[in-house]
A and B are shown apart, each in its own frame.
Chain A
């Protein structure tokens, strides 16, 4: 079974702190994703990565950065946490599928989530 783990289930930080959220997958997936989930807004993509050291901005990258130094690990960084970054953060991973020149993602597997509160 695919396993995606996240470093913390619950996290409380203060405004202005630097926050690291880590995600590890054990299935040698090329793609890794960071989402945040807020009531009424659903899941929104922050960043994704399709290979080591590669990253792409999602829909809401402002205030976040990411790091992927190893294939199995994808880190989300809040450079200076703010109260509007209080949310549930979900990490996911998937294989890439190749359709001619295009690539796309196979089934996404999610971690258990990190509930971040910024005071």
Chain B
């Protein structure tokens, strides 16, 4: 089974609304990262949150981490059509271990 699993698998919202995506994982982690992938493009790093952090902000992005529930959420506020992409969480179990990606959430923001 996969280390990171996102839900929902797909999310469709209107421009201006907030989008929340969740990631759950099975084993303890060192760091959790979120990436965005536009259609036909490579993945782009959005934000990294360490296991001893609970919340992190970057522009319109807010990431939370609950290690007791082994879950993280990515909130995109005031969404734009350009936010349409797949969003992946990725975890590493210990410092220096490989990064394992979840299955991704496909976000569609309708203008």
A binds B: no
Mark B residues whose CB is within 8 Å of A: none
